[in-house]
Amino acid sequence: MSGSAQPNLSVENLAQTIFFVPEMSVQREVASQLDRETAGLDAAIADAREAIALSRERRAALISAAVTGKIDVRGAV
C-alpha cells in the first residue's frame, strides 16, 4: 500500500510507531468494568423505551376515546 486517507500517515510511519498494549489480565478487567457500567445504561434505555411505548398506547387510547365520544373534550382547552 502506498498511501492512506490521513495526511502524513504512511505505512512507514506506522511501522515505526510503538504501541503499548496492556497485559491480558488488565484488558479483561477493563472489559469487565465496561460491561458492568454499560449494563446499567442498557437497563435504563430499556426502561425508557418501555415507558415510551406505554405512553404511545395511552395516547392512542385517549384519542380513540375522544373520537368515539367515550369522553367529553368539548370544554378542554
Using pLDDT thresholds of 50, 70 and 90, give the confidence band for residue 53: very high
Q: What's the pLDDT at 3?
A: 56
Report percent pLDDT > 90 for the chain.
68
Q: What's the pLDDT at 48?
A: 98
Is the alpha carbon torsion for 70, 71, 74, 77 positive or negative? negative
The alpha carbons of the chain give a radius of gyration, in whole angstroms, of 28
pTM, two decimals, is 0.57
Using pLDDT thresholds of 50, 70 and 90, give the confidence band for residue 4: low
Q: What is the DSSP letter of 59?
A: H
Average model confidence (pLDDT) across the chain: 90
CA-nearest of 6, 29, 28 to 17 is: 6
Q: What's the pLDDT at 2?
A: 58
Cβ atoms within 10 Å, residue 65: 13
Under 8 Å between Cβ of 37 and 31: no
